[in-house]
A and B are shown apart, each in its own frame.
Chain A
Amino acid sequence: KAGVTQTPRYLIKTRGQQVTLSCSPISGHRSVSWYQQTPGQGLQFLFEYFSETQRNKGNFPGRFSGRQFSNSRSEMNVSTLELGDSALYLCASSLRSRTDTQYFGPGTRLTVL
């Protein structure tokens, strides 16, 4: 079974621009979570989607948004980029519920100049 895939792997943007990151979960997985990883703050939860509905959201400004499609693929969008948004963005998928383990993708490295 193919693992979680994320595209693109690397992105360079400038302040004020917006960006969309994509995540394809493991086949059959219906839950997708997003995390931001930075050297200073570590790994922080962004949001979680299940069956196209956002179930949980972390403590991030409204510039960060996401969605999930009927095939469970998910996208996250960051508008009006700031330098502090430079990070590794990780996507994780799980089958369905809180009893299931989350499996991570390779991440998208976003650099904001």
Chain B
Amino acid sequence: AQTVTQSQPEMSVQEAETVTLSCTYDTSESDYYLFWYKQPPSRQMILVIRQEAYKQQNATENRFSVNFQKAAKSFSLKISDSQLGDAAMYFCAYRSAVRGGSEKLVFGKGTKLTVNP
């Protein structure tokens, strides 16, 4: 079974600074997707960024980028120019892309990000 580990329960960053959230995963599959979701206090889970395992290029969405290291099974999220609105729980998630496999998302325990003004 696949597992996702987020080793940082809490992180903090100063407004306008850069922060990196860590995520490692364990799988025997070669084809899969990785996601970062953000859950602010409102509880709505929002997609931040998505990475296809077969793509070597790291995904980028505005101030958010990932460092995907497939061999190391590492998938970190970098937030540049942090804003107060970035404060939230961040979840790393894995999803199989194997035909016949489950489409469920497997989540890490989350990292609570605080942004200090």
Contacts and interface: CB of A to CB of B under 8 A. Distances in A.
A60 B86 CA distance: 33
Interface string A45-65: 100100000011010000000
A65 B102 CA distance: 18
Nearest to B106: A45
17 contacts: A31-B103, A42-B109, A42-B110, A43-B105, A43-B107, A45-B104, A45-B105, A90-B45, A92-B45, A97-B103, A99-B33, A101-B47, A102-B105, A104-B37, A107-B44, A107-B45, A109-B43
Main secondary structure of the interface of B (DSSP, over half): loop
Of the listed residues A45, A55, A94, A97, the one surrounded by the most CB atoms of chain B closer than 10 A to its CB is A45
B24 interface: no
Contacts of B101: 98
Given A90-B45, A101-B47, 16 more contacts: A33-B104, A33-B105, A43-B91, A45-B102, A45-B104, A45-B106, A48-B103, A56-B103, A56-B104, A58-B104, A92-B105, A98-B33, A101-B35, A101-B50, A104-B45, A106-B42
Interface of A: 31, 33, 35, 42-43, 45, 48, 55-56, 58, 88, 90, 92, 94, 97-99, 101-107, 109
A106 B39 CA distance: 10
B105 A88 contact: no
A55 B45 contact: no
Interface of B: 33, 35, 37, 42-47, 50, 91, 95-97, 101-110
A35 B105 contact: yes
A99 B104 CA distance: 12
B44 A104 contact: yes
A42 B44 CA distance: 15
Contact of A48 (B45, B104, B106): B104
Contacts of B110: 42
A106 B96 contact: no
A33 B50 CA distance: 18
